[in-house]
Amino acid sequence: MSMGDMSVKKKETHANRETEEGQRLRKRPRRSKICKNKAEAESQRMAHIAVERNRRRLINDYLSALRSLMPPSYLNKGDQASIIGGAINFVKELEHLVETLEARKGTNQHLNVANVCQLHSPFAGLYGFTQCVSCSARTDIEGKVAADNKEVVTDVKVTMVESHANVKVVSKRWPRQMLKMVIGLQSLKLTILHLYVTTIDEMVLYTLSLKVEEDCQFDSVDKIAEAIYQMMGRI
């Protein structure tokens, strides 16, 4: 082998070494970057775990607070759904109790019933408006007109969330009124989920939780209130 060939071979070997060394140097940052990504991923995972633990701790604290506020009769089970469901039912009972107490408080006032449209019922404080209808006569089951004229006062309040409606109806009491009202609501495609009744003197308060069926033609608060108002005038 000539001296020229040996010189060329040495240069090639030196160049190969420099190339390999350069490749190693270029690869080192990649390894460092991979390690950094793993560390960041682990840090994010631990952060998510900490957030989830904190969320569960807060939920458990809230559920414990709810359980401490409710009577044991509203707690069928200790799971989250049962506690929340019991709390909802308990709040509904409290709302009904408040309405009853407000109604009893109203009976202590002297009422002027000379004009039915100016009548302030014991439940008047529960409503932002009053709707009045006068019926000059009522027909009994035999088709005869009643001898004495009767007048009806009906107040209707409706609130609605999606397909569920909460309804409060104040009216003068009539025989079999509640049965006819239940049948009437069913004919309107309004299913009764809960029904509470409070009576004060000649007045009655119906507090209802209704489910609006899919084939119900009343899809708004105003339409439901008007339909129930008209129904109460017929029964």
Instruction: Grade residue 200 by pLDDT with cuts at 50, 70 and 90.
Output: confident
For the entire predicted model, the pTM comes to: 0.47
DSSP string, the chain: --HHHHHHHHHHHHHHHHHHHHHHHHHHHHHHHHHHHHHHHHHHHHHHHHHHHHHHHHHHHHHHHHHHHS-GGG-S-SSHHHHHHHHHHHHHHHHHHHHHHHHHHHTTS----SSGGG---TTGGG-S--EEE--S--B-TTSPBPSS---EEEEEEEEEETTEEEEEEEEE--TTHHHHHHHHHHHTTEEEEEEEEEEETTEEEEEEEEEE-TT-S--SHHHHHHHHHHHHHH-
The whole-number pLDDT of residue 15 equals 57
Residue range 94-107, pLDDT digits in tens:
887 787 777 766 65
